[in-house]
């Protein structure tokens, strides 16, 4: 409480400086190593610092050059040759001063960490990126080779139409080989998770867990025409969504991470506040642990699904900030199949299915998300409504929750029966669909060879319409098997002070501060 009080006093003082931008963040990052996390909170903290070879043009699904100024693909679709930018400066931070600019060695180091468990750094700091596992990159990528100081070739074992898009993901953010070498020599490779060094618009300055992150402008950012407009960027860690809304009203932050529907409705009435919105490439889901004997039965999952009054949840939890989900694919994604008809709410049929399955009375745990997300603005309220719906068909659900990081860890370990979660996707459908592939961390432990085959065929198909047809089949199969119950698609809305200019909210929820100024 003392730490929070001190921060509350400090932030209004920062407002006096025209070039300080204050962001009320939803949580404290667990790591500053983008290679080893799939957390959205971590990603938000990494985005100002790092760059990727390929980027997505803001507000669209168009891939554009990043640290790679151009690329070419071989006729067989297996070899990608990247021409790297020259004159890109690394950050200088406390504990590291670069002696050279970005080059091919940094790409080799970054992908060496991701792909080779036998690399010197990987041996010193054993770890596996969750995205490398879910994307199957250890098998997909045959080799990464340096062709010159500013040229790199990545060779695949098979064609994958999703590969370029994946290179825009946060886990592929390029890290400094020089920093890695210094840490390895000092015997402290673990410090790479506390010392973020990138090529992005802002440089890391300091971090106090559960309190504040401070960044300063990178004066030599390679995007010369888009240099940061703010000299300082401050992340004020504010996990409680209502507190974020209050602090925004009190002018203690300029921009706030998403808040719940009730707070959002109140903020809309404040002339000093405005909303930045985007369609949202997300889906809120209920994941069933198919390792549990009862939940391994399709008829039980079907019954639990149709027992939930999703329309009521939409009204109570999302308000006008969501639409009912008909598929596991976000509605804003180009591969979404809008023709799929969701199963109607039918408690009587649900109870009959459960009786036929011989599982009544059924006692299970229902895990409630502890954080506010666009795909689930109120996990506790949603869990209570599902609990009530299930009680009407003979299912006794005990609601369980944990701190967000612990929540995710325990779901990955399979401790739950059914768990509320969601997915903030991107324009590449393989990444959302891949969450349900065999071995992915989807909370379901569901494996279906036919589903995986459809995904593999979609990745190999270079024609977009062919890919869309294959993803439609995969969506229909997932809706028939129901390892997830899709609940809703959440519209993204980020509140900011009306005086703020230049803040960008991307389709996937990524927040860009480099062009923003508090007034």
With 50 as the cut, is the pLDDT of residue 377 above it?
Answer: yes
Asked whether residue 496 is assigned to any structural domain, the reply reads: no
Distances (CA, A) of 248 to 196, 258, 400, 490, 510: 28, 11, 31, 22, 19
Give residue-wise pLDDT tens across range 330-371.
Answer: 998 999 999 999 889 999 999 999 999 999 999 999 999 998
Low-confidence winner among 20-24, 222-226, 244-248 (lowest mean pLDDT): 222-226
Cβ contact 223:210 at 8 Å: no
With 90 as the cut, is the pLDDT of residue 100 above it?
Answer: yes
Helices 379-391 & 298-307 angle (0-180, nearest 10):
110
pLDDT score recorded for residue 14 = 41
DSSP letters for 439-477:
TSSSSS----HHHHHHHHHHHH--SHHHHHHHHHHHHHH
With 60 as the cut, is the pLDDT of residue 498 above it?
Answer: yes
pLDDT score recorded for residue 2 = 40
Asked whether residue 498 is assigned to any structural domain, the reply reads: no
Low-confidence winner among 37-41, 73-77, 202-206, 502-506 (lowest mean pLDDT): 37-41
- Of 159, 187, 207, the residue at which a domain comes to its end is 207
Average confidence (pLDDT) over 377-388: 96
Asked whether residue 286 is assigned to any structural domain, the reply reads: yes
Q: How confident is the model at residue 40 (pLDDT cuts 50, 70, 90)?
A: confident
CATH at 236: 3.40.190.10
- Is there a single domain that holds both residue 100 and residue 16? no
For residues 253 and 21, give the distance between their C-alpha atoms in angstroms, rounded to a whole number: 8
Q: What is the pTM of this model?
A: 0.78
Q: How confident is the model at residue 18 (pLDDT cuts 50, 70, 90)?
A: low
- Is there a single domain that holds both residue 325 and residue 361? yes
Asked whether residue 81 is assigned to any structural domain, the reply reads: yes
260 Cβ contact partners less than 8 Å away, ≥ 6 residues apart? 241, 242, 372, 377, 378
Share of the chain above pLDDT 90, in %: 79
CATH at 158: 3.90.76.10
Q: What is the chain's length?
A: 519
Residue 63: how many other CB atoms lie within 10 Å: 17
- Is there a single domain that holds both residue 421 and residue 446? yes
Higher pLDDT, 39 or 330: 330
Name the residue range of residue 16's domain. Answer: 1-28+209-273+513-519
- Is there a single domain that holds both residue 249 and residue 121? no
pLDDT score recorded for residue 371 = 87
Average confidence (pLDDT) over 93-99: 95
The answer for 509, left when phi > 0, alpha when psi is -120 to 50, beta otherwise, is left
- Is there a single domain that holds both residue 49 and residue 169? yes
- Is there a single domain that holds both residue 459 and residue 346? yes
Higher pLDDT, 332 or 255: 255
Report angle CA 138, 139, 144 to the nearest 5 degrees: 65
Asked whether residue 373 is assigned to any structural domain, the reply reads: yes
Number of domains forming the structure of the chain: 3
Asked whether residue 500 is assigned to any structural domain, the reply reads: no
Asked whether residue 502 is assigned to any structural domain, the reply reads: no
CATH at 382: 3.10.105.10
The mean pLDDT value of the chain amounts to 92
Q: Which residue in this structure is represented by tokens 């690329």?
A: 71
- Is there a single domain that holds both residue 303 and residue 365? yes
- Is there a single domain that holds both residue 34 and residue 20? no
Structure tokens at 9: 């006093």
pLDDT score recorded for residue 348 = 98
Residue 189 half-sphere exposure, CB side, CA atoms within 13 Å? 15
- Is there a single domain that holds both residue 192 and residue 60? yes
- Of 173, 207, 241, the residue at which a domain comes to its end is 207
For residues 154 and 142, give the distance between their C-alpha atoms in angstroms, rounded to a whole number: 8
Q: How confident is the model at residue 21 (pLDDT cuts 50, 70, 90)?
A: very high
For residues 69 and 55, give the distance between their C-alpha atoms in angstroms, rounded to a whole number: 11
Low-confidence winner among 146-155, 303-312, 371-380 (lowest mean pLDDT): 371-380
- Of 207, 226, 257, the residue at which a domain comes to its end is 207
- Is there a single domain that holds both residue 403 and residue 476? yes
- Is there a single domain that holds both residue 202 and residue 240? no
Residue 18: how many other CB atoms lie within 10 Å: 12
498 Cβ contact partners less than 8 Å away, ≥ 6 residues apart? 271, 272, 273, 274
With 70 as the cut, is the pLDDT of residue 223 above it?
Answer: yes
- Is there a single domain that holds both residue 309 and residue 192? no
Q: From edge to edge, which strands make up the β-sheet containing 232-237? A: 202-208, 212-217, 232-237, 20-25, 255-256, 492-497, 273-278
Cβ contact 338:300 at 8 Å: no
Low-confidence winner among 424-428, 463-467, 476-480 (lowest mean pLDDT): 424-428
For residues 326 and 438, give the distance between their C-alpha atoms in angstroms, rounded to a whole number: 22
Asked whether residue 400 is assigned to any structural domain, the reply reads: yes
Residue 456 half-sphere exposure, CB side, CA atoms within 13 Å? 13
Taking alpha carbons only, the member of 56, 514, 513 closest to residue 256 is 513
């Amino acid at each position: 409480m003392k730490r929070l009080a001190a921060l509350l006093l400090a932030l209004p003082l920062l407002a006096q400086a025209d070039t300080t931008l204050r962001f009320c963040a939803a949580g404290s990052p667990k790591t500053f190593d983008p290679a080893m996390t799939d957390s959205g909170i971590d990603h938000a903290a990494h985005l100002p610092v790092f760059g990727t070879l390929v980027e997505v043009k803001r507000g669209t699904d168009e891939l554009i050059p990043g640290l790679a100024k151009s690329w070419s693909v071989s006729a067989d679709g297996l070899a990608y040759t990247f021409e790297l930018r020259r004159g890109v400066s690394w950050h200088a931070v406390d504990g590291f001063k670069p002696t050279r600019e970005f080059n091919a060695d940094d790409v080799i180091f970054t992908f060496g960490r991701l792909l080779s468990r036998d690399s010197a750094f990987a041996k010193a700091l054993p770890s596996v990126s969750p995205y490398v596992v879910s994307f199957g990159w250890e098998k997909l990528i045959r080799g990464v080779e340096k062709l010159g100081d500013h040229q790199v070739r990545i060779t695949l074992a098979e064609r994958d139409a999703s590969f370029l898009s994946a290179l825009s993901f946060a886990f592929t953010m390029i890290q400094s080989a020089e920093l890695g070498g210094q840490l390895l020599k000092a015997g402290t490779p673990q410090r790479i998770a506390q010392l973020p060094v990138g090529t992005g618009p802002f440089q890391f300055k300091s971090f106090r867990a559960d309190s504040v992150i401070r960044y300063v402008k990178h004066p030599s950012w390679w995007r010369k025409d888009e240099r940061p407009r703010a000299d300082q960027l401050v992340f004020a860690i504010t996990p409680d969504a209502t507190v974020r809304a209050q602090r925004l009203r009190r002018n203690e932050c300029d921009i706030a991470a998403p808040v719940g529907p009730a707070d959002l409705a109140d903020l809309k009435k404040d002339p000093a506040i405005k909303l930045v919105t985007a369609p949202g490439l997300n889906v809120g889901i209920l994941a069933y642990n198919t390792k549990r004997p009862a939940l391994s039965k399709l008829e039980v999952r079907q019954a639990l699904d149709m027992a939930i009054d999703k329309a009521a949840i939409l009204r109570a939890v999302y308000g006008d900030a969501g639409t009912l989900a008909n598929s596991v694919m976000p509605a804003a994604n180009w591969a979404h199949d809008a023709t799929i008809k969701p199963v109607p709410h039918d408690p009587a049929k649900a109870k009959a299915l459960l009786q036929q399955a011989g599982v009544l009375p059924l006692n299970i745990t229902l895990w409630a998300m502890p954080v506010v997300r666009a795909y689930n603005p109120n996990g506790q309220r949603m869990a209570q409504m599902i609990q009530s719906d299930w009680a009407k068909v003979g299912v006794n659900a005990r609601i369980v929750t944990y701190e967000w990081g612990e929540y995710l860890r325990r779901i990955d370990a399979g401790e739950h029966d059914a768990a509320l979660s969601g997915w903030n996707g991107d324009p590449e459908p393989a990444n959302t669909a891949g969450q349900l592939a065999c071995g992915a961390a989807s909370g379901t432990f569901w494996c279906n060879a036919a589903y995986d085959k459809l995904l593999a065929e979609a990745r190999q198909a270079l024609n977009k319409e062919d890919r869309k047809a294959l993803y439609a089949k995969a969506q229909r199969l997932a809706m028939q098997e129901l390892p997830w119950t899709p609940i809703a698609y959440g519209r993204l809305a980020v509140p900011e002070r009306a005086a703020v200019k230049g803040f960008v909210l991307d389709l996937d929820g990524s927040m860009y501060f480099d062009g923003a100024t508090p007034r």
